[in-house]
Structures are given as structure tokens and as C-alpha cells.
Amino acid sequence: MNRKNTFGSRIGLFLMLLVIMAICRPFHAYADPETKGTCGDHVTWEYKDKTLVIRGKGAMKDYTYDDYGTINSTLPWHNLAFTRLIVEEGVTRIGSVAFGMSTDLETVTLPDTIDEIGEAAFMGCEKLESIKMPKTIKSIEMKAFDCCWNLTSLYLPDGLTVATQQMCTGANNLKDVRFPDTLQKIE
């Protein structure tokens, strides 16, 4: 056998091994993030075009965070970059930590059926500048708007009866806060 054929055979064998390895290597399927699901007993969510829509009847589920403010990765939309949140008519409560650390969130639309905003519901929404709250809100829990760095105004609605001292801690750019006459208690 001459040297040229041995070299050619080795190259051919090497190429064949590469093809076999490419065909036989393990196949890794990576799932796309979920774009819809449930977030309460009768409440669902759907994500499309950087918009998260919450719809249904009743309260949203409460979520959790640890002592360091790290949002639990069980938030169904934790890896979706949404800039707009629309909560539709029928939803009555924004769950605790529900939109915490949604750092791309810029605008929020809440319906007249909302009567409570849970603890740390919008904590760490850095790009949120303002939020228009319906008059139906009776309670805003602690840290609801904590660390919303760009929040410049917060107009608490007529009808609000309970608020917390720490509902917007860390909102350093907050320049205008309006309290309603119906406010009975700041905890």
C-alpha cells in the first residue's frame, strides 16, 4: 500500500466517524417558554407581542420571594420580557409578587374590578413611571411598588381605605403622591 492511499483512507475514515458522531449524538430539545396558562382559580394569562394579558373572574394567585428580594422562578411569566400589562375586567386582586422584578414593564392597565394590590406586586419594575389605579381599590399591601426607580407619580384612588408606609420604598424619583380622603389607615 502506498502512502497516498493510506492517507486518503484515514481521511475517509475520519470523515465517516464525524458523520456517525453527528447522527448519533444526543438530541437536546429546548422548550419555548410558555405563552399562556393559569394564575388563579378562575384567572388565566396570555403573552403575545411583549404584552401580558390577565383575564378571568376573581383573585390572582399569590407568589413568593425570599428575604433578598429574589422572585420565585415559579412565576409563570418569569422569563418573558413584557413591556405592557393589561388586566381585564373581572379580575379582583393582583396577587402578591405577581409582577415583581418585571424589569421591562412600562405600562399597566387595571380594570374597575380590582379592589386589592398584593404585597410586592410590582416590586422592582424599574421602567414603570406611573400607574393609574381604579377607584375600586380598597387596599394596597406592603412593598407593592418597592424599588420602582422610575415611578414619578402615584395617585391613590378615592375609595382606598388601607395603605402601608412601605408601599413604595426605594421609589427614589417619586415626586407626587396623592392620598384620597377615604384613606382610614396607614399601617
- Predicted pLDDT of residue 29: 47
What is 32-186's CATH number, 1.50.10.20, 3.30.2420.10, 3.30.700.30, 3.80.10.10?
A: 3.80.10.10
Evaluate the CA torsion angle 29, 35, 36, 38 in order and state its sign: positive
Give pTM, 2 decimals: 0.78
Q: Cell numbers 418585571 correspond to what residue? A: 102
Domain boundaries, given as residue ranges, for the chain = 32-186
Is 24's pLDDT higher than 90?
Answer: no
pLDDT, one tens digit per residue, over 94-131 is: 999 999 889 999 999 999 999 999 999 999 999 998 88
Asked if 128 contacts 108 with a C-beta cutoff of 8 angstroms, the reply is yes
Is 145's pLDDT higher than 60?
Answer: yes
- Predicted pLDDT of residue 19: 57
Using the 8-state DSSP alphabet, how is residue 33 labeled? P
Is 82's pLDDT higher than 70?
Answer: yes
CA 177/CA 165 separation, integer angstroms = 12
